[in-house]
Amino acid sequence: MQTAETSASRPYRWIEANSIAGALGAEIDGVDLSCDLTDEVMAEIRAASLRHQVIFFRDQKLTPEQHVAFARRWGEILYFPLSDGIEGYPEILEVKKTPADKKNVGNFWHTDQMFAVRPAMVSILYGRQVPPFGGDTMFSNQYLAYETLSPGMQRMVRGLRTVSSSSHLNRGGGEDGMDGGKSVFDSTGTAIKIRDPGSARMTGAHPLVRTHPETGRKSLFIGSHTHNFEDMTEEESRPLIDFLMRHSTRPEHTCRFRWRTGSLAVWDNRCTQHLALNDYPNETRVMHRITILGDEPFAS
């Protein structure tokens, strides 16, 4: 398990990374993301992301152009398949909750786009308007989720593959919960509109235990989009899925980030889950998200 770094152990020259929890997560200081970052600075940011799984930047003032430019330094942008981006910037998905909305986007443990053939690598979320309190995001370390299973359970789950669906939610509302064909977020219709209701469901199968292509570590690859195990019924699959979801999001596997306007988070979907808390009634929260295309999950 990661621990807070001392000044002597920090491996960076250009940035400073301060852990926010024992399981995962670090705030990055000394970086202005509106600037054209050097390759050396970007390499340290990417190294911090691999080390901490989710990294956070405070007090950033980004135009949409600068947000997109930073995102492109991570790889190929993954356009949201069900919805258009904001006007003029198709790369940027607006995630918005107003006082009229009772539900919010992503209020369930999940990994972005895990139902795709090539799920998201990283997600880059920028806080444009944040309520004075509430609206935190939780993150869970899926390396720890796998490593803390018993040896017998590890042997059993290594051979399984999950089937995930964009239209499946595990006992909850949120992303991709159909609202009469109006919205993919089961809100009041004001959050994110689907582009084509007829193509709003996607299904993919991946190893339950995936190998990270950069770190080589194994992690659980599961979330609320997981419907069943391949070659098994949902009834047969559900008891183990429920256990693994509870285990993978135990408090000691998580961190919690409190947003401020101008905060930006980058998380690695290949080894984390996340959940957006819905505890800010009568407030407005506006976030801009860009997602980077990942590889096809594999097990080794």
Residue by residue, DSSP assigns 251-299 as GGGEEEE---TT-EEEEETTSEEEEE----TT--EEEEEEEEE-PPP--
- 289 catalytic? Reply is yes
Residue 202 CA: distances (Å) to CA of 83, 197, 225: 14, 12, 10
Contact between 70 and 171 under an 8 Å Cβ cutoff? The reply is no
Q: What is the DSSP letter of 235?
A: H
Is the four-CA dihedral 21, 285, 57, 47 of positive or negative sign? positive
Q: What is the DSSP letter of 267?
A: E
Q: List the structure tokens of 101.
A: 């909305």
CA gap 199, 106 in Å, rounded: 20
CA gap 285, 268 in Å, rounded: 23
CA gap 183, 195 in Å, rounded: 9
Contact between 249 and 129 under an 8 Å Cβ cutoff? The reply is no
- Catalytically annotated residue among 101, 112, 176, 186: 112
Give the Cα-Cα-Cα angle 187, 190, 194 (nearest 5 degrees).
85
- 246 catalytic? Reply is no
Other beta carbons within 10 angstroms of residue 220's beta carbon come to 27
- Catalytically annotated residue among 52, 67, 101, 110: 110
- Catalytically annotated residue among 168, 210, 274, 288: 274
> Residues with catalytic annotation?
110, 112, 274, 289
